[in-house]
Amino acid sequence: MTQLWAKDLPLDALVHRFTVGDDPVTDLALAAHDAVGSAAHARGLHRAGLLADADLNALLPALAGIAEDAHKGAFTIAPEQEDCHTAIEHALIAATGDAGKRIHLGRSRNDQVLLALRLWQREHLFALVDGVERLAAALLKLAEQNADVPLPGYTHLRRAMPSSAAQWASAFAEGLVEELEAAQGLYRRLDRCPLGAAAGFGAPLPLEREYAADLLGFARVQRSTVDVQNARGRHEVALTGWLASLGLTLEKLCWDLALYSTEEFGFIKLPDAFTTGSSIMPQKRNPDVVELARATCRALRGRHMLVLELAGGLPSSYHRDFQLLKKPLVDAVGDAETLLVVLERVVNALEFDRARAAAACTDELYAAHDACRRAGEGLPFRDAYREVAAEIADGSFAPNRSALAAPHTGGLDNLQLAATAQALREAHGAFDTPRAHIQQRLSVIFDV
């Protein structure tokens, strides 16, 4: 098979294998999106008078078949084909003859891979925000169902102040709402079409860039053709950076689940179906799922750092270094999607041990409350603080647990779960309009 760049010059086999790398496997994730982008490019060429009616009518059904095969896992990329772009062009030539040879007019593999990646990132961002929304909703449901379960609040892993199962669970939901809001900015970065930049300097043709962008559901064209190539890596860094931030929130959730389900704490029960056994100790049930989920959160940070290193340290325009960005990006997104599904299932199965949690809420948790009560009666807070500390030290401290409430927003007596639920709906709903628009545009992309 002939590479797209082949010029009948000798090719070292080892060097070829090294430069191809993992692309024949990794690019399988991009093949359907490359077929969609190729359909938009063919339509743009046709509109500009650069592709005949017969050629367009031959290419569109062939591209639709490739996209369908790719979605089903039936599309393959031979090692000598290097990537999905070459494999698709070969398939088009086999199916349509000269029409398949004409489709590369006005584009380079540089903007071709960028477009496929942009479409892939956009699609998977929608899947990720759906996963975040479902997990946040599960956490809010857990909070509502356990609103009256007391729980110690910890700082430095030491008991600090009274909290509750609802305050604990809703905190993670709030963090996920913030991540959904951040994803809106990430989507706006992805919502620009690179097609038509070619190798980074455009092409001496009347390319219909705005038309192709509209066909693909993008809000606008990425204007600067040089910036199109400079953006390679920038959006991968942005997406994996968002995943790394998401992982920071989820890692804390996993840590707490592992800790609170130990025999020593016992606040949370993990069902047997969510634990694994020991090969030597008959009594052991291990929280492997939350430990591996916790490790996955760290792996997301690691892949983000790898993407950052690969993308940095280069001058402007295209460099082959960018090829190595694809695998950590695809792996990070796949891991994050699985992580969200797994944690949603875990959260939906959690049970609190009310008695163990209540027993852990001992008198010293109310030290700050009692100091505030005394300050409210006129004693300077620092003096009240010292009084309480002295009573705790001599064993005479006996707080009135109901003397003070925390009615402020986010306080134990005013968690505002309904407001968090509304914020979650709004943050997730922000993607409804662009998603519907894209689905409508892509639903006719292959129509003859």
Question: First vs last Cα of the chain: how many Å apart?
Answer: 30
35 and 180 housed in the same domain: no
pLDDT digits (tens, 9 = 90+) for 312-337: 999 999 999 999 999 999 999 999 99
Q: Is residue 61 part of a domain?
A: yes
Instruction: Please state, in angstroms and rounded to a whole number, the distance separating the CA atoms of residues 340 and 183.
Output: 15
Assess if residue 218 is contained within a domain: no
Residues 239 and 353 in one domain: yes
Q: pLDDT tens digits for 409-447?
A: 999 999 999 999 999 999 999 999 999 999 999 999 999
Give the residue from 5, 19, 15, 31 showing the smallest Cα distance to 321: 19
pTM of this prediction? 0.94
Regarding whether 313 and 338 lie in a shared domain, the answer is yes
Number of domains in the chain: 3
Among residues 374, 394, 392, 391, which one has the least CA distance to residue 383?
A: 374
In a domain, 283, yes or no: yes
Domain that holds residue 346: 120-194+223-360+414-442
Q: Is residue 5 part of a domain?
A: no
Residue 278 has a pLDDT of: 80
Is 278 in the active site? yes
Q: Domain ends where: 74, 105, 136?
A: 105
- End of a domain among 73, 105, 137? 105
390 and 250 within one domain: no
- Do 384 and 260 have their domain in common? no
Domain identity same for 54 and 139: no
How many CA atoms, within 13 angstroms, populate the side-chain half-sphere of residue 35?
25
> Are 187 and 331 found together in one domain?
yes
Three-state secondary structure readout of the chain: CCCCCCCCCCCCHHHHHHHHCCHHHHHHHCHHHHHHHHHHHHHHHHHCCCCCHHHHHHHHHHHHHHHHHHHHCCCCCCHHHCCHHHHHHHHHHHHHCHHHHHCCCCCCHHHHHHHHHHHHHHHHHHHHHHHHHHHHHHHHHHHHHCCCCEEEEEECCEEEEEEEHHHHHHHHHHHHHHHHHHHHHHHHHHCEECCCCCCCCCCCCCCCHHHHHHHCCCCEECCCHHHHHHCCCHHHHHHHHHHHHHHHHHHHHHHHHHHHCCCCCCCEECCHHHCEECCCCCCCEECHHHHHHHHHHHHHHHHHHHHHHHHCCCCCCCCHHHHHHHHHHHHHHHHHHHHHHHHHHHHHHCEECHHHHHHHCCHHHHHHHHHHHHHHCCCCHHHHHHHHHHHHHHCCCCCCCCCCCCCCCCCCCCCCHHHHHHHHHHHHHCCHHHHHHHHHHHCCCCCC
Query: Within this chain, do residues 337 and 255 fall inside the same structural domain, yes or no?
Result: yes
**Per the residue annotation, which of 71, 278, 316, 437 is the catalytic one?**
278
CATH assignment at residue 70 = 1.10.275.10
Shared domain check, 59 and 28: yes
Strands 192-193 and 220-221: parallel
Mean residue pLDDT across the chain = 95
* Average pLDDT of the segment spanning 269-297: 90
Q: Which of 45, 71, 105 is the last residue of a domain?
A: 105
Q: pLDDT tens digit string along 326-382?
A: 999 999 999 999 999 999 999 999 999 999 999 999 999 999 999 999 999 999 999
Residues 344 and 367 grouped into a single domain: no
Opening angle at CA 155, ends 154 and 158, nearest 5: 65
Judge whether 224 counts as a catalytic residue. no
pLDDT in tens, 256-266: 999 999 999 99
Backbone angles phi, psi at 199, to 5 degrees: -80, 5
Q: Is residue 399 part of a domain?
A: no
378 and 347, same structural domain? no
| Residue 223 CB burial class (10 angstroms; 0-12, 13-18, ≥19) | exposed
| 408 is a domain residue | no
Cross-strand partners of 153: 161
Name the catalytic one among 156, 279, 396, 443.
156
**Of the candidates 392, 288, 300, 393, the residue with the CA atom closest to the CA atom of residue 342:** 288
Residues 6 or more apart from 252 whose CB is under 8 A from it? 172
Q: What is the pLDDT of residues 5-56, one digit of tens each?
A: 454 556 778 887 888 888 899 999 999 999 999 999 999 999 999 999 999 9
Task: For residues 308 and 189, state if they share a domain.
Answer: yes
CATH of the domain at 281: 1.20.200.10
pLDDT in tens, 45-89: 999 999 999 999 999 999 999 999 999 999 999 988 889 999 999
In a domain, 4, yes or no: no
What percent of the chain is modeled with pLDDT above 90? 89
Whether residue 208 is contained in a domain is answered as: no
